[in-house]
Structure 1
Amino acid sequence: MEPQKSFFVTDWLDRRAKLSGDRIALHDALSGRDISYRAWNAIANRTANMLDSLGVQAGDRVAIYSTNCVEYLDLLMACNKTGAVLQVLNWRLAIPEMRVVLNDAAPVVLVYSDEFVSQVNTLRSDIPSVRRFVALNQLADSADLPFAERESCPTAWDKLPELHPDAPWVICYTGGTTGIPKGAILTHGNMTWNSVNAVMSVPLNQNDVFLLSMPLFHTGGLNIFTLPLFHVGGKVIVTKAFDVEKALDFIEQQQVTVYLAVPTMYALMQAHPRWETANFSSIKAMFSGGAPCPEPIYQKFWAKGVQQFRVSYGLTEGGPYNIWLPNHDIQRKPGAIGVPVFHADVRIVHEDGSLCVADEPGELITRGMHVIPGYWNNPDATAKTVVDGWLHTGDLARADDEGYIWVIGRIKDMIISGGENVYPAEIESVLMAHPDVAEAVVIGVPDDKWGEVGWAVVVAKGQITAEALTIFMSDRLAKYKVPKNVVFVDAIPKTAVGKIDKKAVAQKVLS
């Protein structure tokens, strides 16, 4: 007997509007308006009908070149309804990089916001797949279609395609700091199961409020916790970008319960004059993701009474939600990322695939319905990353004898000095504990004697010398781990989502 063909309920908003239409789905930080699920479903239906009028069919790519806005999410949910695939564009890419990713996915429609009018005109003649350019507001060319044209479209949508769970919903490009970006295919199944894992773990419910500070071209903006909040009928506050002052305002005034940021954003929050008086009493789950979180950052939140602040882990190719640290373990296992979520398998393995024992470092791999099927138009990268159903993350990790996992760093970032493995994240955490250090990163530098040695690149916030920092590290680290050089800089280069860009750091200090 042949297995039954599997189809998916794809229209999230229609279902949510029927279940809890009067509840607030979105708070638009730009206009201050609240949008209910019922009203938003009608808006997204108009957007779906507009795409349909442009000839967009299931499987066609629709690119969006925009900063965060509610229209971005309208388009996401319209693609959910139509079966079109949303190509989310990292607006910080240079024009040559943008040209590459656009020609890779070959979208038939490109939607853009005001900030990128000149870039769109520069790219226009080099992206032949695009049949229509759509402006959210300002037109880059008189022939372009205003997004407002959707207002003339019907508020009902009844053309739902029959989609398999493996049908793509989003293409999210990743890996731009280490080479040509790869288009991770996030399917309807991936995004649904990621949401189920998030909802079950936190857990989330319709009373939760999430402050969206991460860019929507990043999996953290899309899937942690924006889409899971829509799944349960909660509210998402949509901000254009992270702003410390506004973030503190929203957390207090809108009674935010769930928040995600990268360590750099939290460091800025703690350095703000309002830190001492900031009210986080509404928070039930606060996450630091995207990069290793230095211990002083989460210790300061705990000291302030934010007991729910935890280090988290995820990656685009893994949903990104696959590991969870339960509330009762946050301070019992400081710095741990936790244990596998309900619907995920996680292992730590040697290079030959054999399992590591407790406290032995190895590569973290994961499998489950949250794992992507592969990269768009890139079978070679897919074959190297997803092996026999297991996603090879490229992250070094260890697990203790209870199965709790710590991320040590990236395999490619590990420094092998005189035959010893040195993990930059461990050293960076020690550096960040110094009161006169604002930011720090450790990179590997070739060395004639040791093969490779560590260099500490530091942004100081007080009077500190390289010698004093070396003594500080020597009191806390084995001798072979202490960086052989300390370089002071005014700023450390970051990626678009606030992660430290180690490739750019190396170019900055070694050039």
Structure 2
Amino acid sequence: MTTDWLQRRAWLSPTAPAIIDVSGPGGIADARTIDYRTLDAETNQVANALAAQGIGLGDRVAVLAKNRVEYVQLWFACAKLGAALQALNWRLTARELGPLITQAGPRIMFWDREFAELIDSLRPQLGDAKIVALDEPRAGDLEFSSFRDQPSTPPPRPEFGPDQPWVLCYTGGTTGLPKAALLTHGTIAWNAINTVSSWGLSKADVAVLNAPMFHTGGLNVFTAPLVHAGGCSILCREFDLDQLYDLITDHGVTCFFGVPAMFQAMQAHPRWASAPLERLSLIISGGAPCPEPVFERFWARGIDFKTGYGLTEAGPNNFWLPPERVRDKPGAVGWPLMHVEVRIIDQHGAVCGPEEVGELWIRGPHVCPGYDKNPEATAESFIDGWLHTGDLARADAEGCVTIVGRSKDMIISGGENIYPAEIESAISAHPAVAEAALIGVPHERWGEVGRAFVVLASGAQLDAEGLLAYLGEHLARYKLPKSVVFLDSLPRTGAGKIDKRALEAR
């Protein structure tokens, strides 16, 4: 298995566009198209510069930056050297990032212009690690611009195989220290193989990359698979709705991945009705359960919008729902990809029958070997070759899988199981609601009951009584929330998911 993806793609597709870079201050107006031969040559410069700083096999290379072409080059430069990219979440505070840096022990840190104060707070944790400014340096920092003085020929390649860690990618946990999943050359390659072979990606595909690259969604939903296929990524600094609509309208986009909040924002935007979304061959949601009204608004326009399922530890791509089954399997994630095995297991350890809810287990070469320097968490989640996801799922008689929610989020009220994703979807269907979340709260009689947190659409009015009356027409009585709290916004984790632990803390 080759581990120098860019060199191989530069041989096979030298003049094909690899990246359209719109991440700079000028955005689309200053777009730069980078072909695979150029991207490989510039990445070789970065790899040679890292080697000149003593970075080699097994060393950790930390990056605290928003999306930019240097981030992509550092990622693939690590592949050339056998080093591991530590992709740090820039939404975290110094107090949260410090322990992650101490645990991983990077030998070099790269930082972005927006995070000067944050990097200054982290310098004590960095010890004798070298610090490189991607933009204007602080006193004593190295300048990334000097890396361009290195030769563009490939660096000497150490011997290593597919089990070598390539990325330390953090889970979006809401309690305790985030866990660093060890994404190896093998697991990233097999996710690409699964995605290209099962989703049908090709060299003609162009995907918008505006998910943060510290997240597996930014790295591995489309970006690495498109390198594998010889396709192109449009690199955006971050999610910007108007920029996204401009790209879809004028720049040949065929694929887009987003989290539900992105799609809700798209549908609330004035350009929703006129944007040529029908041109895209693949629009997929992931990262969290997607409310059913989001699907219905896409389907009303004849667009095969669907939801995926993935997690940092596995892929993240695991399922596919064929276009011809999207509407008769609403909310389903579909069937396992080509080299993915799944089981749904009940509380007694038995395989669930059709429509029975249980924990989803995943096995395959795309599953990571565990968590960096965390044997306890590894032993808890990776058992006898299976990843125990902690997510609840059910499969119908055809084997088509639907994700029900997190096992930790399930509410047991008076002996009945309540799955928050179902209730949240029903709440979001109300025209006055922009977003919703449901948690369980203690109750003297029923053990626990649901409490809904609701964000109203701009200019909308709705009270708890009106919402509950609406839900009473759509849900069984035991599923109805027993209280409703209206908020201006919902708290989110560093990965952009709704932070239910923060809601529970209220």
Q: Letter of the aligned partner of 1:27 in structure 2?
A: I
- Structure-1 residue corresponding to 2:247: 250
2:8 to 11, 15, 27: 15
1:464 to 462, 465, 472: 462
Mapped to 2, the partners of 1:255 and 1:353 lie a distance apart of: 48
**Over residues 176-201 of structure 1, what are the superposed CA-to-partner deviations in whole Å (9 max), with x where a residue is unaligned?**
31221101000000000000011011
CA contact (8 A) 1:493 1:500 kept: yes
Mapped to 1, the partners of 2:410 and 2:502 lie a distance apart of: 17
In the TM superposition, structure 1's runs of 4+ consecutive aligned residues that sit over 3 Å from their partners are none
- Structure-2 residue corresponding to 1:230: 227
Mapped to 2, the partners of 1:176 and 1:361 lie a distance apart of: 23
- For residues 362-381 of structure 1, the aligned pairs below 5 Å read 362-381=358-377
Q: Letter of the aligned partner of 1:107 in structure 2?
A: P
1:153 to 150, 153, 159: 150
Q: Letter of the aligned partner of 1:183 in structure 2?
A: A
- For residues 134-153 of structure 1, the aligned pairs below 5 Å read 134-140=132-138, 142-153=139-150
Shift of 1:495: 2.3
Q: Letter of the aligned partner of 2:455 in structure 1?
A: V
- For residues 152-231 of structure 1, the aligned pairs below 5 Å read 152-231=149-228
Mapped to 2, the partners of 1:318 and 1:151 lie a distance apart of: 35
Q: Letter of the aligned partner of 1:310 in structure 2?
A: K
Q: Letter of the aligned partner of 1:71 in structure 2?
A: E
- SS at the partner of 2:313? helix
- SS at the partner of 1:160? coil
- SS at the partner of 1:317? coil
Mapped to 2, the partners of 1:154 and 1:59 lie a distance apart of: 23
Aligned residues: 498
Shift of 1:158: 4.0
Mapped to 2, the partners of 1:41 and 1:410 lie a distance apart of: 41
- SS at the partner of 1:483? coil
Mapped to 1, the partners of 2:261 and 2:234 lie a distance apart of: 21
Mapped to 1, the partners of 2:468 and 2:369 lie a distance apart of: 46
Residue 61 (str. 1) matches residue 60 (str. 2): yes
Shift of 1:211: 0.2
- Greater displacement, 397-406 / 445-454: 445-454
Shift of 1:305: 2.3
- Structure-2 residue corresponding to 1:332: 328
Mapped to 1, the partners of 2:92 and 2:331 lie a distance apart of: 32
Mapped to 2, the partners of 1:353 and 1:288 lie a distance apart of: 30
Mapped to 2, the partners of 1:505 and 1:272 lie a distance apart of: 27
Shift of 1:398: 0.5
- Structure-2 residue corresponding to 1:88: 87
- SS at the partner of 1:275? coil
Residue 261 (str. 1) matches residue 254 (str. 2): no
- SS at the partner of 1:9? coil
- Greater displacement, 158-167 / 99-108: 158-167
Residue 116 (str. 1) matches residue 115 (str. 2): yes
- Structure-2 residue corresponding to 1:499: 497
Shift of 1:255: 1.4
- Structure-2 residue corresponding to 1:432: 428
Residue 354 (str. 1) matches residue 361 (str. 2): no
**Over residues 367-423 of structure 1, what are the superposed CA-to-partner deviations in whole Å (9 max), with x where a residue is unaligned?**
000111000000000001000010011100011111001111000000111111110
Shift of 1:487: 1.0
- SS at the partner of 2:488? coil
Mapped to 2, the partners of 1:473 and 1:74 lie a distance apart of: 50
Shift of 1:281: 2.9
Shift of 1:174: 1.1
- Structure-2 residue corresponding to 1:3: none
Q: Letter of the aligned partner of 1:246 in structure 2?
A: Q
CA contact (8 A) 2:80 2:155 kept: no
Q: Letter of the aligned partner of 2:2 in structure 1?
A: V
Closer, same or farther: CA 352–164 of 1 in aligned 2, 3 Å: farther
- SS at the partner of 1:343? coil
Mapped to 2, the partners of 1:419 and 1:290 lie a distance apart of: 29
**Over residues 199-220 of structure 1, what are the superposed CA-to-partner deviations in whole Å (9 max), with x where a residue is unaligned?**
0112111110000121000000
- SS at the partner of 1:46? helix
- Structure-1 residue corresponding to 2:75: 76
- Structure-2 residue corresponding to 1:5: none
Residue 322 (str. 1) matches residue 298 (str. 2): no
CA contact (8 A) 1:365 1:391 kept: yes
Q: TM-score, normalised by structure 2?
A: 0.97
Shift of 1:153: 0.3
- Structure-2 residue corresponding to 1:490: 488
CA contact (8 A) 2:172 2:495 kept: no
Q: Letter of the aligned partner of 1:314 in structure 2?
A: G
Q: Letter of the aligned partner of 1:39 in structure 2?
A: T
Q: Letter of the aligned partner of 2:35 in structure 1?
A: S
CA contact (8 A) 1:117 1:138 kept: no
Gaps of at least 5 residues in structure 2 are: 25-29
Mapped to 1, the partners of 2:53 and 2:484 lie a distance apart of: 57
- For residues 3-42 of structure 1, the aligned pairs below 5 Å read 8-29=1-22, 30=24, 31-42=30-41
Mapped to 2, the partners of 1:478 and 1:460 lie a distance apart of: 23
- Structure-1 residue corresponding to 2:27: none
Q: Letter of the aligned partner of 2:223 in structure 1?
A: T
- SS at the partner of 1:281? helix
- Structure-2 residue corresponding to 1:4: none
Mapped to 1, the partners of 2:396 and 2:291 lie a distance apart of: 20
Shift of 1:496: 3.2
Between the aligned residues of both structures, percent identity stands at: 50
**Over residues 230-267 of structure 1, what are the superposed CA-to-partner deviations in whole Å (9 max), with x where a residue is unaligned?**
11111100001101111111111111101000010000
Q: Letter of the aligned partner of 2:140 in structure 1?
A: A
CA contact (8 A) 1:205 1:234 kept: yes
**Over residues 422-468 of structure 1, what are the superposed CA-to-partner deviations in whole Å (9 max), with x where a residue is unaligned?**
10000001011111111111011111221111001111121211111
CA contact (8 A) 1:214 1:497 kept: no
Shift of 1:478: 1.1
CA contact (8 A) 1:265 1:498 kept: no
Mapped to 1, the partners of 2:279 and 2:479 lie a distance apart of: 41
